[in-house]
Amino acid sequence: MANGLGKGGRKKTGNKLTAMMQVRNEAGRYLEAALADLSGFVDEIVIVDDASTDDTPELAASFEKVVKLVRNKESLFHKEWLLRELLWRAAEETSPDWLLAVDADEFYEDYTKGALRELINQDEYDTVSFRMYDFWDSVTHYREDEWWNLHQRPMMTLVRYLPGYHYAYPKRAHHATRLPFTYSALPGLDTELRIKHFGWAGSAEERRAKYDRYMKLDPQGQWGSLGHYASILEPNPRLIRWQERERHDE
């Protein structure tokens, strides 16, 4: 169509890609690299800082594409669904076309970055799911076993913003969905495109600290799996070397 609109008024061209991220005490980890990487392929970035006690918010604000930064005075970490809702509302205020929900330790493979514009400039689907790989010990190998196999099924991280649609998050204190669960009712595309998650790629001591935190926050496994928590301490997990694909630009 001449005006670039397709089905239901959905834009087929010129869509803005907005990344949204929640952070807390991420300075000195992957945040700077993640924001630099995002700045190379998204149009805008929206961040909610959950009462950091380090210079995370100042670091975030130093990036030109961070167009909105919300700073919580008190942490909502124990009510994660409220934190997710706050981030969503902040992103809404920037009049987005598409929203990419990303964590501060995630990196989209170059091949995936090259496909994003084609994925958002269409009117056939409103959600896109990718394969998330959990790296372990280093940024060269990912883990794959009974408990760590998220990459074997698609995970929705990219959605079209539809004004007036009902957006809702399940009330989960921990492990809340990063996007409204109501998006599952919309037409979506599952892809083989990949995301690298470096959150577990640190030292054994760092993983032990995460395990201890999970057990303190969720000792009965109400919000997650006790088996999965225990697997964090596996001394010899099955690791597979990552092989990067070449970038695919249309």
pLDDT digits (tens, 9 = 90+) for 14-54: 999 999 999 999 999 999 999 999 999 999 999 999 999 99
Please provide residue 148's backbone torsions phi and psi, each rounded to the nearest 5 degrees: -120, 90
C-alpha span between 49 and 69 (Å, rounded): 7
The third-level CATH classification (topology) of the domain covering 7-163+178-241 is: Spore Coat Polysaccharide Biosynthesis Protein SpsA; Chain A (3.90.550)
pLDDT digits (tens, 9 = 90+) for 169-213: 999 888 889 999 999 999 999 999 999 999 999 999 999 999 999
C-alpha span between 51 and 25 (Å, rounded): 8
Q: Can you tell me the mean pLDDT for 83-106?
A: 97
Domain boundaries, the chain: 7-163+178-241
Q: Model-level pTM?
A: 0.94
pLDDT digits (tens, 9 = 90+) for 111-165: 999 999 999 999 999 999 999 999 999 999 999 999 999 999 999 999 999 999 9
DSSP string, 141-202: EEE-SSS--GGGS-EEEEEE--TT--------SSS--SS-GGGGGS-EEEEEEEEEE-TT-S
